[in-house]
Amino acid sequence: MKNTQKGFTLIELMIVIAIIGILASIAIPAYTGYIKSAKVGGLVENHENAFRLVKGEAAKIASGAACSDVVAQLNDGGKQAIGSTDGATPAYVSGAAVAGGQVGIVGLTLGCPVSGTAITTNAVMVTGTAGTDYPGGAAPANKTFTPE
């Protein structure tokens, strides 16, 4: 009778585990870098969107149209702050009290830009990121304009 062996030897299993370990040691740092890059890009984009919408709303008001609450428009659909996991931190807030990953809009009156009042948008770095992670090597700078 012929003795046939089924299964893997201990050496074969150890080699497979070593290969998986090597692949994981390469993939995990790259993955965390991608996550950080996505958070940074999301915050920068949110900051740009807030500034563009406030300027657009100011132009709309100047042409005689009624104002819509800018912060409510930006948070439409329950948008959350970048990096937020609590489900209760909105992406955009009115005022200077801004947490990590949020964009604040200062100078609105009842959610609307008012002629002659300076409007400033500011973004706070996402938790776990540094200034060097952002374009230009620093956190997004505040943006200010005064509607006419």
Give residue 13's pLDDT.
Answer: 94
12-55 pLDDT, tens digit per residue, is 999 999 999 999 999 998 898 899 999 999 999 999 999 999 99
- As a whole number of angstroms, the distance between CA 119 and CA 111 comes to 11
pTM for the structure as a whole? 0.80
Alpha-carbon distance 39 to 129, whole Å? 9
Q: What is the CA radius of gyration of the chain?
A: 25
* Bridge partner residues of 109 (DSSP): 112
